[in-house]
Amino acid sequence: MLKPVLAALALAAAATAHAQNRPPIKVGFMLPATGTFAALGDMIEKGFKQYVDEQGGTLAGRQIQYFKVDDESDPSKATDNVNKLIKRDQVDVIVGTVHSGVALAMARAARESGTLLIVPNAGADAITGPLCAPNIIRSSFSNWQPGYAAGVMAAQKGYKRAVSIYWNYAAGQESGKGFAEAFSKGGGQVVKELTLPFPNVEFQALLTEIAAIKPDVVFAFFAGAGAAKFVKDYDAAGLKRTIPLVGSGFLTDGVLEAQGASAQGMMTALHYADGIDTPRNNAFRTKFAVTHKLNPDVYAVQGYDAAQILATGLAATQGDITKRDAFVAAVRKMTVDSPRGKYTLSAAHNPVQDFYVREVKGRENVMTGTAVKVLPDPARGCRM
Ligand code: PHB
Protein backbone atom coordinates (compact mmCIF):
# COMPACT_ATOMS: atom_id res chain seq x y z
CA MET A 1 0.00 0.00 0.00
CA LEU A 2 2.71 2.39 1.02
CA LYS A 3 4.97 1.62 -1.91
CA PRO A 4 3.10 3.49 -4.68
CA VAL A 5 2.75 6.51 -2.41
CA LEU A 6 6.44 6.48 -1.63
CA ALA A 7 7.25 6.10 -5.31
CA ALA A 8 5.02 9.07 -6.17
CA LEU A 9 6.64 11.14 -3.45
CA ALA A 10 10.09 10.24 -4.71
CA LEU A 11 9.08 11.24 -8.23
CA ALA A 12 7.72 14.57 -7.04
CA ALA A 13 10.89 15.22 -5.05
CA ALA A 14 12.98 14.41 -8.09
CA ALA A 15 10.93 16.79 -10.23
CA THR A 16 11.39 19.56 -7.67
CA ALA A 17 15.12 18.89 -7.47
CA HIS A 18 15.29 19.00 -11.26
CA ALA A 19 13.48 22.35 -11.28
CA GLN A 20 15.82 23.70 -8.65
CA ASN A 21 18.85 22.52 -10.57
CA ARG A 22 17.87 24.48 -13.63
CA PRO A 23 19.36 27.95 -13.91
CA PRO A 24 17.12 30.90 -13.04
CA ILE A 25 14.98 32.66 -15.61
CA LYS A 26 16.74 35.93 -16.40
CA VAL A 27 14.37 38.89 -16.38
CA GLY A 28 15.78 42.16 -17.72
CA PHE A 29 14.04 45.30 -16.52
CA MET A 30 14.54 48.19 -18.89
CA LEU A 31 12.78 51.04 -17.12
CA PRO A 32 13.39 54.69 -16.27
CA ALA A 33 15.18 55.10 -12.92
CA THR A 34 15.88 58.78 -13.50
CA GLY A 35 14.00 61.65 -15.15
CA THR A 36 10.34 62.60 -15.34
CA PHE A 37 9.10 58.97 -15.44
CA ALA A 38 11.37 57.56 -12.68
CA ALA A 39 8.51 56.94 -10.23
CA LEU A 40 6.55 55.09 -12.92
CA GLY A 41 9.42 52.68 -13.55
CA ASP A 42 9.74 52.05 -9.83
CA MET A 43 6.04 51.19 -9.51
CA ILE A 44 6.23 48.75 -12.45
CA GLU A 45 9.15 46.93 -10.85
CA LYS A 46 7.42 46.80 -7.47
CA GLY A 47 4.26 45.40 -9.05
CA PHE A 48 6.16 42.77 -11.02
CA LYS A 49 8.10 41.60 -7.98
CA GLN A 50 4.95 41.47 -5.86
CA TYR A 51 3.43 38.87 -8.17
CA VAL A 52 6.62 36.79 -8.22
CA ASP A 53 6.85 37.01 -4.42
CA GLU A 54 3.25 35.84 -4.13
CA GLN A 55 4.26 32.70 -6.03
CA GLY A 56 7.01 32.05 -3.49
CA GLY A 57 9.74 33.66 -5.59
CA THR A 58 9.66 31.07 -8.39
CA LEU A 59 7.61 30.66 -11.58
CA ALA A 60 7.00 27.14 -12.86
CA GLY A 61 9.62 26.01 -10.37
CA ARG A 62 12.30 28.34 -11.64
CA GLN A 63 14.04 31.05 -9.67
CA ILE A 64 13.91 34.54 -11.12
CA GLN A 65 17.09 36.55 -11.54
CA TYR A 66 16.75 40.27 -12.22
CA PHE A 67 18.91 42.49 -14.42
CA LYS A 68 18.40 46.23 -14.70
CA VAL A 69 19.09 49.06 -17.11
CA ASP A 70 18.04 52.68 -16.53
CA ASP A 71 16.71 53.81 -19.92
CA GLU A 72 16.38 57.46 -18.78
CA SER A 73 13.30 57.70 -21.09
CA ASP A 74 15.83 58.61 -23.76
CA PRO A 75 15.06 57.17 -27.22
CA SER A 76 18.54 58.07 -28.51
CA LYS A 77 20.11 55.62 -26.03
CA ALA A 78 17.44 52.94 -26.36
CA THR A 79 19.10 50.58 -28.84
CA ASP A 80 22.39 50.54 -26.89
CA ASN A 81 20.52 50.07 -23.63
CA VAL A 82 18.36 47.19 -24.78
CA ASN A 83 21.41 45.45 -26.25
CA LYS A 84 23.00 45.46 -22.79
CA LEU A 85 20.18 43.14 -21.75
CA ILE A 86 20.03 41.10 -24.95
CA LYS A 87 23.74 40.66 -25.72
CA ARG A 88 25.65 41.32 -22.51
CA ASP A 89 23.27 39.83 -19.95
CA GLN A 90 21.57 37.41 -22.35
CA VAL A 91 18.25 37.70 -20.57
CA ASP A 92 15.37 35.33 -21.31
CA VAL A 93 12.77 38.08 -21.24
CA ILE A 94 12.85 41.87 -21.32
CA VAL A 95 10.29 43.80 -19.28
CA GLY A 96 10.01 47.44 -20.34
CA THR A 97 9.43 50.28 -20.71
CA VAL A 98 7.46 53.43 -19.88
CA HIS A 99 8.32 55.79 -22.78
CA SER A 100 6.87 55.02 -26.23
CA GLY A 101 9.91 56.27 -28.14
CA VAL A 102 12.23 54.01 -26.16
CA ALA A 103 9.82 51.10 -26.44
CA LEU A 104 9.71 51.37 -30.24
CA ALA A 105 13.48 50.77 -30.38
CA MET A 106 13.05 47.87 -27.93
CA ALA A 107 10.38 46.30 -30.12
CA ARG A 108 12.66 46.49 -33.15
CA ALA A 109 15.50 44.87 -31.19
CA ALA A 110 13.15 42.16 -29.90
CA ARG A 111 11.99 41.40 -33.44
CA GLU A 112 15.58 41.12 -34.66
CA SER A 113 16.90 39.01 -31.79
CA GLY A 114 13.75 37.00 -31.07
CA THR A 115 14.02 37.86 -27.37
CA LEU A 116 10.70 37.81 -25.54
CA LEU A 117 9.49 41.35 -24.71
CA ILE A 118 6.69 42.20 -22.28
CA VAL A 119 5.73 45.88 -22.37
CA PRO A 120 4.35 46.99 -18.98
CA ASN A 121 3.43 50.55 -19.97
CA ALA A 122 4.55 52.26 -23.19
CA GLY A 123 1.50 52.64 -25.41
CA ALA A 124 3.10 53.21 -28.84
CA ASP A 125 0.37 52.01 -31.21
CA ALA A 126 2.93 50.46 -33.58
CA ILE A 127 4.04 47.91 -30.96
CA THR A 128 0.75 46.08 -31.39
CA GLY A 129 0.35 47.47 -34.93
CA PRO A 130 2.98 47.28 -37.70
CA LEU A 131 5.67 46.06 -35.25
CA CYS A 132 3.51 43.33 -33.69
CA ALA A 133 5.22 39.96 -33.32
CA PRO A 134 4.68 36.62 -31.58
CA ASN A 135 7.42 37.45 -29.04
CA ILE A 136 6.02 40.91 -28.13
CA ILE A 137 3.23 41.16 -25.57
CA ARG A 138 1.77 44.19 -23.82
CA SER A 139 0.23 44.22 -20.32
CA SER A 140 -0.83 47.87 -20.42
CA PHE A 141 -2.71 49.65 -23.25
CA SER A 142 -2.19 51.22 -26.66
CA ASN A 143 -1.99 55.02 -26.64
CA TRP A 144 -5.11 55.16 -28.77
CA GLN A 145 -7.19 53.36 -26.10
CA PRO A 146 -7.25 55.75 -23.11
CA GLY A 147 -7.34 58.74 -25.50
CA TYR A 148 -10.40 57.26 -27.18
CA ALA A 149 -12.06 56.54 -23.82
CA ALA A 150 -11.42 60.12 -22.68
CA GLY A 151 -13.02 61.35 -25.92
CA VAL A 152 -16.14 59.28 -25.22
CA MET A 153 -16.25 60.65 -21.69
CA ALA A 154 -15.88 64.29 -22.81
CA ALA A 155 -18.54 63.95 -25.52
CA GLN A 156 -20.92 62.39 -22.99
CA LYS A 157 -20.45 65.43 -20.78
CA GLY A 158 -21.80 67.52 -23.67
CA TYR A 159 -18.63 69.48 -24.46
CA LYS A 160 -18.39 70.62 -28.09
CA ARG A 161 -15.10 72.51 -28.57
CA ALA A 162 -11.88 71.03 -27.25
CA VAL A 163 -8.21 71.97 -27.20
CA SER A 164 -5.68 69.15 -26.89
CA ILE A 165 -2.29 69.65 -25.29
CA TYR A 166 0.46 67.07 -25.06
CA TRP A 167 4.14 66.20 -25.38
CA ASN A 168 4.96 65.90 -29.06
CA TYR A 169 5.96 62.24 -29.33
CA ALA A 170 4.11 58.99 -30.00
CA ALA A 171 2.24 58.87 -26.69
CA GLY A 172 0.92 62.42 -26.92
CA GLN A 173 0.16 62.31 -30.63
CA GLU A 174 -1.58 58.95 -30.51
CA SER A 175 -3.67 59.63 -27.43
CA GLY A 176 -4.59 63.00 -28.99
CA LYS A 177 -5.74 61.11 -32.09
CA GLY A 178 -7.78 58.64 -30.06
CA PHE A 179 -9.40 61.52 -28.18
CA ALA A 180 -10.24 63.42 -31.39
CA GLU A 181 -11.69 60.29 -33.01
CA ALA A 182 -14.15 59.56 -30.19
CA PHE A 183 -14.89 63.20 -29.43
CA SER A 184 -15.85 63.96 -33.04
CA LYS A 185 -17.93 60.75 -33.23
CA GLY A 186 -19.77 62.08 -30.19
CA GLY A 187 -20.50 65.42 -31.86
CA GLY A 188 -17.53 67.49 -30.66
CA GLN A 189 -14.53 69.00 -32.40
CA VAL A 190 -10.88 69.49 -31.48
CA VAL A 191 -10.27 73.08 -32.54
CA LYS A 192 -6.56 73.25 -31.69
CA GLU A 193 -3.70 70.94 -30.77
CA LEU A 194 -0.92 72.45 -28.67
CA THR A 195 2.34 70.62 -28.18
CA LEU A 196 5.75 70.88 -26.57
CA PRO A 197 8.75 68.56 -26.76
CA PHE A 198 9.13 65.78 -24.18
CA PRO A 199 9.97 66.27 -21.30
CA ASN A 200 9.57 70.09 -21.32
CA VAL A 201 7.38 71.64 -18.64
CA GLU A 202 7.37 75.29 -19.71
CA PHE A 203 3.60 75.45 -20.09
CA GLN A 204 2.97 79.16 -19.62
CA ALA A 205 2.73 80.32 -23.26
CA LEU A 206 0.41 77.43 -24.10
CA LEU A 207 -1.83 78.14 -21.12
CA THR A 208 -2.14 81.73 -22.32
CA GLU A 209 -3.21 80.41 -25.71
CA ILE A 210 -5.85 78.18 -24.13
CA ALA A 211 -7.22 81.16 -22.20
CA ALA A 212 -7.54 83.08 -25.48
CA ILE A 213 -9.28 80.23 -27.35
CA LYS A 214 -11.77 79.58 -24.50
CA PRO A 215 -12.71 76.00 -25.44
CA ASP A 216 -15.42 74.05 -23.55
CA VAL A 217 -12.83 71.52 -22.39
CA VAL A 218 -9.09 70.79 -22.50
CA PHE A 219 -7.73 67.28 -23.09
CA ALA A 220 -4.16 66.68 -21.90
CA PHE A 221 -1.62 63.90 -22.10
CA PHE A 222 1.17 64.27 -19.58
CA ALA A 223 2.47 61.78 -17.03
CA GLY A 224 4.77 61.51 -14.05
CA ALA A 225 6.50 64.66 -12.83
CA GLY A 226 5.36 66.57 -15.94
CA ALA A 227 1.71 65.79 -15.18
CA ALA A 228 2.15 66.95 -11.59
CA LYS A 229 3.43 70.32 -12.80
CA PHE A 230 0.90 70.75 -15.62
CA VAL A 231 -2.13 70.29 -13.37
CA LYS A 232 -0.72 72.75 -10.84
CA ASP A 233 0.16 75.31 -13.51
CA TYR A 234 -3.29 74.98 -15.11
CA ASP A 235 -4.85 75.81 -11.75
CA ALA A 236 -2.40 78.63 -10.96
CA ALA A 237 -3.19 80.22 -14.34
CA GLY A 238 -6.82 80.48 -13.22
CA LEU A 239 -8.05 78.09 -15.91
CA LYS A 240 -9.38 75.38 -13.59
CA ARG A 241 -12.29 77.61 -12.56
CA THR A 242 -13.40 78.31 -16.14
CA ILE A 243 -12.38 75.45 -18.47
CA PRO A 244 -12.59 71.82 -17.30
CA LEU A 245 -9.38 69.83 -17.77
CA VAL A 246 -9.74 66.14 -18.67
CA GLY A 247 -7.22 63.55 -19.75
CA SER A 248 -6.22 60.00 -19.99
CA GLY A 249 -5.80 58.96 -16.37
CA PHE A 250 -2.01 59.25 -16.48
CA LEU A 251 -2.58 62.93 -15.81
CA THR A 252 -3.58 62.16 -12.22
CA ASP A 253 -2.30 58.62 -11.49
CA GLY A 254 0.51 58.37 -8.97
CA VAL A 255 0.81 62.16 -8.71
CA LEU A 256 -2.15 63.24 -6.56
CA GLU A 257 0.06 63.86 -3.55
CA ALA A 258 2.07 66.39 -5.54
CA GLN A 259 -0.98 67.98 -7.22
CA GLY A 260 -2.97 68.51 -4.02
CA ALA A 261 -5.97 70.83 -4.35
CA SER A 262 -5.22 71.58 -8.01
CA ALA A 263 -6.44 68.13 -9.08
CA GLN A 264 -9.63 68.01 -7.02
CA GLY A 265 -12.72 67.14 -9.09
CA MET A 266 -10.76 66.36 -12.27
CA MET A 267 -12.21 63.65 -14.50
CA THR A 268 -10.05 61.22 -16.43
CA ALA A 269 -10.46 57.89 -18.22
CA LEU A 270 -8.22 54.89 -17.61
CA HIS A 271 -8.16 51.10 -17.35
CA TYR A 272 -7.60 51.32 -13.59
CA ALA A 273 -9.10 53.31 -10.73
CA ASP A 274 -8.74 53.50 -6.97
CA GLY A 275 -11.45 51.72 -5.04
CA ILE A 276 -12.31 48.98 -7.54
CA ASP A 277 -14.04 46.89 -4.91
CA THR A 278 -13.18 43.32 -5.89
CA PRO A 279 -11.40 40.71 -3.76
CA ARG A 280 -8.63 40.62 -6.36
CA ASN A 281 -7.97 44.37 -6.27
CA ASN A 282 -8.38 44.64 -2.51
CA ALA A 283 -5.87 41.84 -1.89
CA PHE A 284 -3.43 43.40 -4.36
CA ARG A 285 -3.69 46.83 -2.77
CA THR A 286 -3.43 45.61 0.79
CA LYS A 287 -0.32 43.56 0.07
CA PHE A 288 1.26 46.46 -1.84
CA ALA A 289 0.48 48.97 0.90
CA VAL A 290 1.81 46.71 3.64
CA THR A 291 5.04 45.99 1.74
CA HIS A 292 5.81 49.51 0.54
CA LYS A 293 3.83 51.85 2.85
CA LEU A 294 2.51 53.26 -0.40
CA ASN A 295 -0.67 52.97 -2.46
CA PRO A 296 -0.26 51.23 -5.82
CA ASP A 297 -1.21 52.94 -9.08
CA VAL A 298 -1.87 51.90 -12.67
CA TYR A 299 1.85 51.36 -13.30
CA ALA A 300 2.14 48.89 -10.43
CA VAL A 301 -0.87 47.00 -11.83
CA GLN A 302 0.70 46.80 -15.28
CA GLY A 303 3.95 45.47 -13.78
CA TYR A 304 2.01 42.90 -11.73
CA ASP A 305 0.21 41.74 -14.86
CA ALA A 306 3.45 41.50 -16.84
CA ALA A 307 4.59 38.93 -14.27
CA GLN A 308 1.26 37.08 -14.51
CA ILE A 309 1.68 36.81 -18.27
CA LEU A 310 5.21 35.48 -17.87
CA ALA A 311 3.97 33.00 -15.26
CA THR A 312 1.26 31.67 -17.58
CA GLY A 313 3.70 31.13 -20.43
CA LEU A 314 6.17 29.41 -18.13
CA ALA A 315 3.52 27.18 -16.59
CA ALA A 316 2.46 26.00 -20.05
CA THR A 317 6.05 25.09 -20.93
CA GLN A 318 7.05 23.56 -17.58
CA GLY A 319 9.45 26.45 -17.15
CA ASP A 320 11.13 26.01 -20.52
CA ILE A 321 10.93 29.50 -21.96
CA THR A 322 12.61 28.34 -25.18
CA LYS A 323 9.39 26.52 -26.15
CA ARG A 324 8.23 29.75 -27.73
CA ASP A 325 5.19 28.45 -29.63
CA ALA A 326 3.67 26.79 -26.59
CA PHE A 327 4.49 29.84 -24.46
CA VAL A 328 2.76 32.23 -26.87
CA ALA A 329 -0.21 29.92 -27.45
CA ALA A 330 -0.90 29.83 -23.70
CA VAL A 331 -0.61 33.59 -23.35
CA ARG A 332 -2.95 34.18 -26.29
CA LYS A 333 -5.58 32.00 -24.65
CA MET A 334 -5.23 33.37 -21.14
CA THR A 335 -7.58 35.59 -19.20
CA VAL A 336 -5.46 37.92 -17.11
CA ASP A 337 -6.93 38.06 -13.61
CA SER A 338 -5.84 41.63 -13.05
CA PRO A 339 -6.50 44.00 -10.16
CA ARG A 340 -8.03 46.26 -12.86
CA GLY A 341 -10.57 43.52 -13.74
CA LYS A 342 -10.25 40.47 -15.97
CA TYR A 343 -9.10 40.94 -19.54
CA THR A 344 -7.85 38.98 -22.54
CA LEU A 345 -5.16 39.77 -25.08
CA SER A 346 -6.02 40.60 -28.68
CA ALA A 347 -4.54 38.77 -31.66
CA ALA A 348 -1.95 41.57 -31.69
CA HIS A 349 -1.18 40.90 -27.95
CA ASN A 350 -2.72 44.07 -26.52
CA PRO A 351 -5.20 44.09 -23.59
CA VAL A 352 -8.89 44.13 -24.55
CA GLN A 353 -10.19 45.90 -21.49
CA ASP A 354 -12.67 48.22 -19.80
CA PHE A 355 -11.98 51.95 -19.44
CA TYR A 356 -13.32 53.60 -16.34
CA VAL A 357 -14.37 57.17 -15.68
CA ARG A 358 -12.55 58.42 -12.59
CA GLU A 359 -12.91 61.55 -10.51
CA VAL A 360 -10.26 62.92 -8.18
CA LYS A 361 -11.53 62.94 -4.61
CA GLY A 362 -8.94 63.64 -1.95
CA ARG A 363 -5.94 61.46 -2.70
CA GLU A 364 -7.82 59.00 -4.91
CA ASN A 365 -8.90 58.58 -8.53
CA VAL A 366 -12.31 57.23 -7.61
CA MET A 367 -14.20 55.14 -10.16
CA THR A 368 -17.51 56.84 -10.99
CA GLY A 369 -18.53 54.91 -14.11
CA THR A 370 -17.37 53.21 -17.28
CA ALA A 371 -16.37 55.17 -20.40
CA VAL A 372 -16.12 52.14 -22.70
CA LYS A 373 -16.53 48.46 -21.88
CA VAL A 374 -14.20 45.86 -23.45
CA LEU A 375 -12.34 48.23 -25.76
CA PRO A 376 -9.95 46.57 -28.24
CA ASP A 377 -7.20 48.53 -29.95
CA PRO A 378 -7.83 48.62 -33.72
CA ALA A 379 -4.32 47.12 -34.25
CA ARG A 380 -3.97 48.91 -37.56
CA GLY A 381 -1.13 47.43 -39.60
CA CYS A 382 -0.53 44.30 -37.49
CA ARG A 383 0.08 41.15 -39.53
CA MET A 384 1.13 38.02 -37.67
C1 PHB B 1 4.27 56.46 -23.23
O2 PHB B 1 5.29 57.09 -23.57
O3 PHB B 1 3.77 55.58 -23.95
C4 PHB B 1 3.64 56.75 -21.93
C5 PHB B 1 4.36 57.30 -20.90
C6 PHB B 1 3.76 57.53 -19.66
C7 PHB B 1 2.44 57.20 -19.48
C8 PHB B 1 1.69 56.64 -20.50
C9 PHB B 1 2.29 56.42 -21.75
O10 PHB B 1 1.87 57.39 -18.29
Asked if residue 90 and residue 172 are part of one domain, the reply reads: no
Q: Please count the structural domains in the chain.
A: 2
Asked if residue 250 and residue 215 are part of one domain, the reply reads: yes
pLDDT of residue 3: 58
Is 380 within the bounds of a domain? no
Asked if residue 291 and residue 237 are part of one domain, the reply reads: no
| Dist CA 123 CA 146 (whole Å) | 10
Is 383 within the bounds of a domain? no
> Residue 265: which CATH number?
3.40.50.2300
Does the CB atom of residue 122 touch ligand 1 within 6 A? yes
Does the CB atom of residue 171 touch ligand 1 within 6 A? yes
Q: Residue 362 C-alpha to ligand 1 middle, in angstroms?
A: 24
pLDDT of residue 82: 98
Asked if residue 239 and residue 336 are part of one domain, the reply reads: no
Asked if residue 104 and residue 51 are part of one domain, the reply reads: yes
Range of the domain at 311: 2-141+277-349
Does the CB atom of residue 123 touch ligand 1 within 6 A? yes
Asked if residue 312 and residue 262 are part of one domain, the reply reads: no
Q: Residue 267 C-alpha to ligand 1 middle, in angstroms?
A: 18
pLDDT of residue 13: 55
| Dist CA 205 CA 190 (whole Å) | 19
pLDDT truncated to tens, each residue of the chain (384 aa)? 455 555 656 555 555 555 557 999 999 999 999 999 999 999 999 999 999 999 999 999 999 999 999 999 999 999 999 999 999 999 999 999 999 999 999 999 999 999 999 999 999 999 999 999 999 999 999 999 999 999 999 999 999 999 999 999 999 999 999 999 999 999 999 999 999 999 999 999 999 999 999 999 999 999 999 999 999 999 999 999 999 999 999 999 999 999 999 999 999 999 999 989 999 999 999 999 999 999 999 999 999 999 999 999 999 999 999 999 999 999 999 999 999 999 999 999 999 999 999 999 999 999 999 999 999 999 999 998
Counting from 1 in the atom list of ligand 1, the atom nearest the Cα of 98 is: 5
Is 55 within the bounds of a domain? yes
Q: Residue 170 C-alpha to ligand 1 middle, in angstroms?
A: 9
Whether 88 and 62 have beta carbons less than 8 Å apart is answered as no
pTM of the model: 0.95
Asked if residue 24 and residue 98 are part of one domain, the reply reads: yes
Q: Please tell me the residue having the least CA distance from ligand 1 atom 7.
A: 223
Does the CB atom of residue 99 touch ligand 1 within 6 A? yes
By most ligand atoms within 8 Å of CB, the mutation choice from 99, 139, 169 for ligand 1 is 99
Asked if residue 77 and residue 27 are part of one domain, the reply reads: yes
Asked if residue 177 and residue 166 are part of one domain, the reply reads: yes
Does the CB atom of residue 340 touch ligand 1 within 6 A? no
pLDDT of residue 1: 47
Asked if residue 344 and residue 367 are part of one domain, the reply reads: no
Does the CB atom of residue 223 touch ligand 1 within 6 A? yes
Does the CB atom of residue 173 touch ligand 1 within 6 A? no
Is 52 within the bounds of a domain? yes
The contacts of residue 97 (CB under 8 Å, 6+ apart) are: 30, 31, 32, 41, 71, 73, 103, 106, 119, 120, 121, 122
pLDDT of residue 21: 77
Asked if residue 165 and residue 100 are part of one domain, the reply reads: no
